[in-house]
Structure 1
Amino acid sequence: MKIAIVGAGVVGVSSAYELARAGHAVTVFERRSSVAEESSFAPGAVLGAGLLAPWAMPGAMAAPSLVGSGIRVRTRGATVAELRWLWNWRSAARAALRSSEPSPAMRALAKLAQFSQQCFLETTEALELDLERSQGALVLLQDEQGAAPLRAAVTALRDAGTALHEIGAEAARHIEPGLAEAERLTIALHLPQAEAANCRQFTSALRQAAQRLGVVFEFQAEVARLSPSSARMALHLQGETQPRPFDAAVLCTGAHTARLAEPLGLHLGLVALWGSSLTAPLREDAAAPQGVVIDVARQVTIARLGQRVRVAGGAELGQSDGTPHPATVRQLHEALDAWFPGSTQRAGMQLWRGARPMRPGGLPALGASGVPGLWLNLGHGGYGWSLASGCARLLSEMLSGQTCAWAASELAHFSAAKA
């Protein structure tokens, strides 16, 4: 098939690679000048933590921003639609937290996350990619009460085959010797197979691998609209008078989906929940994280990337001026200084803000859109980096007419109709 992909973030490039591996002729259209220039530039580095990553899905991680009165979602210039989305997310979180058992959607997402990490490992090994990465993750909890809301997520992850162990503070500090003794820590969840890796670095390397398979990348190519015709799809590019015909098109457009999807009758309920990261050069190895640390109270991840440390978190609605909220920046610094004081250098620190394109139920839209010739791989929220390899593999199988063995009963959760 002749397939167009719109968007060259990690999801779009992963989709192009998997489809080319399956023998399709693929062209990627990207409005920026290279891959991974927006949401995939410097997101949180965590892979394999599944539902225990911040903002995974409603009810998976309890936080004041979801269920309590302490508002941690910052709203600067948020629209009515964005505030309605937030209300729906919180309502879904409260409903999920009333049950100790994971919902079917939570189980499906846990399986997808596990599958995606396997696909990521297969790809990196097959291509012999040398990435900035580190092994193992700790979810830090200040007390037993903080662990209780996570029980459904833990059950779903274990049932999906994720290795996960509850350990005490002493064992946690043995795994991460740099953890500050002064910071309160009672128990932790250890995920030995989780890891951190550099999303932008992976996306750039995968682009090269995709090009070797024949994938064509067209940069600074803005798709103005889509028009279906006889089960095919035509792309209308800005500055071109004639449409480009394809057998199928795949939207991997994240937060920019509405302007292309809504004229075709697709209303996916996506909003951009903005997050931020700071990436700092290492100062002292012994004082720094060796793998991934997830601070549940602050909803922040701290990850080792080679000779750097990446701290990611925050939740903002509204575009504002494009810079992180000062309170979000303080939150990132506080988490790093609390757990790993003195581990990084201030000079050379990189601050970044990017969108998490999210649906109210927290699940991505993956598969046929319902519009002839149009397919979706978007709405992964804070999961885009973690789910990219698995979603791309499944998308390729579906477009190739194959049956996904484990996913046959799960893919309905990720349809365009499910918000």
Structure 2
Amino acid sequence: MEVAIIGAGITGIHAALELAAQGHAVVVFERSGSVASESSFAQGGLSAPALSGVWGALCGSQPLALQGSSLSHPAWRWAARQARTQRDDTIAATLRTLAQQSLARSTVLRRQLQLDHERSEGLLLLVRSEAQARKAQALAESWQQAGVSHAWRDAAQCRQHEPGLNPDIPLHGGWHLPEAEATNGRELCLLLKQAAQRLGVHFSFHTEVRQLQAGKRPALTHGPAPQAGLPAVSPRQDANSAAGPATLPSPREVQTHSFDAVLVCGAQLEDPLLHQLGLKPALRQVWGRTLTAPLRQLEAFPDLGPRANLIDDEQQVILSRLGQRVRVSGGASFQPPSRGDKGFEALHAVLHDWFPGAIQPQQVQYWQGSRLMSADGLPLLGASGADGIWLNLAHGGQGAAMAAGAAQVMAALIGGRDPGLDLTPFAAARRG
């Protein structure tokens, strides 16, 4: 089959690789100049199946993406919808299965393709107080029922696991989740792109898809993309800039091509394609931010910074070890970042709480970007409702966690095979 993929972020790259591995002829259309240039550029990259579908349960009220919203904001209606989803044990189990499948597939790909990129394994979910631990007890019980590997660690054991933790900060304990990892998504996408090209995948960068026409042979109209803004990061601070450009000549005029299937993996809320598919009412744009910095290397203090990955339960902030760097992510919002907001200051504060003096502050890389999220927090996976057009969208903050598994699911569906997973909760027809 001839398959077109729209979007070269982490979901699109994984999908291209899976489809090509099954013998399909794949073309990827991307409006930017390289892979992972927008939502996937410097996202947190945490993959933790135990937390899939329940992110935010520990703060007792709203998911991470909704923190900072006023009570009158429509975001709280979304919060209620997500809370109902999180309480649905069947959906939570499906999400966990997809995340576990994704993590397992990522491990296989890393070994088969001999991928060498920044990553770390294991997660400590840190709890600052006994009261907060009681709030999270239901989550721990759900792990027990689902057979998820986890273990409670008291404060002393947490500090043994992460000896760089600030000894002066209050710490009640935490859960250790060994089946978790964090990955430098941009670096991974560059490596997966090379692997996909070896399988015959073609990439068309600086190319904007302007129209889709459904049918047995769906048509895709595309042309040169307007010059988009660069990710919000200084080029001299981009640790991956040495990878160089990864582009092919873009079309000089509007063209239309037909395929056997079109898979939409990348979109923003304003994209006309979403209007054509009738999806805009089901989606919202969520803004997130990360900071990444090299760790200080001091012989007298060998344990500066985290060894693996941590979540501050109270602040809902993730700290991840990526090679000799640390990445801090959190504080996402429905509102686009504004001049003078203190989002990055909040990330710095959490990092300083747990690992004071651990980074080289003059080399901090700041990034902020947006992604699509559905009202119930679930991705759009499967048929779009229009013949020949498929969806792999709206993973919210779990794109890195779900990308490899979602790619397997979509490759099976497009190839006419049973994906082995009930995708009803992810159907586009549910309308968020």
State whether TM-score is above 0.5: yes
Report the identity percentage: 40
- Residue 318 of structure 2 is matched in structure 1 by 301
Correspondences of 1:364-403 after superposition (within 5 Å): 364-403=379-418
Relative distance call for 1:278 and 1:228 in structure 2 (3 A) is: same
Matched residue SS, 1:331: helix
For 1:195 and 1:320, locate their aligned partners in 2 and report how far apart those are by CA, in whole Å.
28
1:174 aligns with 2:128: no
8 A Cα contact 2:48 2:181, kept in partner: yes
Deviations 1:322-378 (A, max 9, x none): x7x632111100110000111111011100001132111111011111110000001
Relative distance call for 1:396 and 1:268 in structure 2 (3 A) is: farther
Aligned pair partner of 1:192 in 178, 197, 214: 178
For 1:114 and 1:362, locate their aligned partners in 2 and report how far apart those are by CA, in whole Å.
18
Relative distance call for 1:34 and 1:161 in structure 2 (3 A) is: farther
8 A Cα contact 1:49 1:194, kept in partner: yes
TM-fit CA distance, 1:416: 1.1
Deviations 1:125-161 (A, max 9, x none): 1101011111210001122332344345445545555
Correspondences of 1:20-419 after superposition (within 5 Å): 20-51=20-51, 60-62=57-59, 66=63, 72-73=67-68, 83-84=73-74, 86-95=75-84, 103-229=89-215, 231-238=216-223, 240-256=253-269, 258-267=271-280, 269-284=282-297, 285-319=302-336, 326-405=341-420, 407=421, 410-418=422-430, 419=432
8 A Cα contact 2:120 2:309, kept in partner: yes
Relative distance call for 1:295 and 1:58 in structure 2 (3 A) is: closer
TM-fit CA distance, 1:268: 5.8
Relative distance call for 1:259 and 1:159 in structure 2 (3 A) is: farther
TM-fit CA distance, 1:60: 3.5
The letter for the 2-side match of 1:88 is R
8 A Cα contact 1:2 1:25, kept in partner: yes
For 1:345 and 1:278, locate their aligned partners in 2 and report how far apart those are by CA, in whole Å.
12
Matched residue SS, 2:291: strand
For 1:233 and 1:152, locate their aligned partners in 2 and report how far apart those are by CA, in whole Å.
47
Relative distance call for 1:235 and 1:38 in structure 2 (3 A) is: same
8 A Cα contact 2:40 2:186, kept in partner: yes
Gaps of 5+ in 2: 225-252
For 2:112 and 2:146, locate their aligned partners in 1 and report how far apart those are by CA, in whole Å.
24
Relative distance call for 1:64 and 1:337 in structure 2 (3 A) is: farther
For 2:258 and 2:163, locate their aligned partners in 1 and report how far apart those are by CA, in whole Å.
57
- Residue 16 of structure 1 is matched in structure 2 by 16
Deviations 1:377-403 (A, max 9, x none): 011011001111110011111111222
Matched residue SS, 2:220: strand
Scaled by the length of structure 2, the TM-score of the pair is: 0.86
**Which stretch shows the higher mean deviation, 114-123 or 312-321?**
312-321
Matched residue SS, 2:320: strand
For 1:147 and 1:187, locate their aligned partners in 2 and report how far apart those are by CA, in whole Å.
8
For 1:256 and 1:90, locate their aligned partners in 2 and report how far apart those are by CA, in whole Å.
19
Deviations 1:294-317 (A, max 9, x none): 011111000100010000111222
Relative distance call for 1:198 and 1:272 in structure 2 (3 A) is: same
Relative distance call for 1:21 and 1:96 in structure 2 (3 A) is: closer
For 1:268 and 1:110, locate their aligned partners in 2 and report how far apart those are by CA, in whole Å.
26
Matched residue SS, 1:124: helix
RMSD value, Cα: 2.4
Gaps of 5+ in 1: none
The letter for the 1-side match of 2:128 is Q
Scaled by the length of structure 1, the TM-score of the pair is: 0.88
Matched residue SS, 1:166: strand
Relative distance call for 1:244 and 1:158 in structure 2 (3 A) is: farther
Deviations 1:12-45 (A, max 9, x none): 0100000000110000000000000011110113
8 A Cα contact 1:74 1:316, kept in partner: yes
8 A Cα contact 1:119 1:390, kept in partner: yes
Relative distance call for 1:257 and 1:207 in structure 2 (3 A) is: farther
Relative distance call for 1:90 and 1:266 in structure 2 (3 A) is: closer
For 1:236 and 1:16, locate their aligned partners in 2 and report how far apart those are by CA, in whole Å.
19
8 A Cα contact 2:47 2:181, kept in partner: yes
The letter for the 2-side match of 1:383 is Q
**Which stretch shows the higher mean deviation, 192-201 or 203-212?**
192-201
Relative distance call for 1:258 and 1:396 in structure 2 (3 A) is: same
The letter for the 2-side match of 1:166 is W
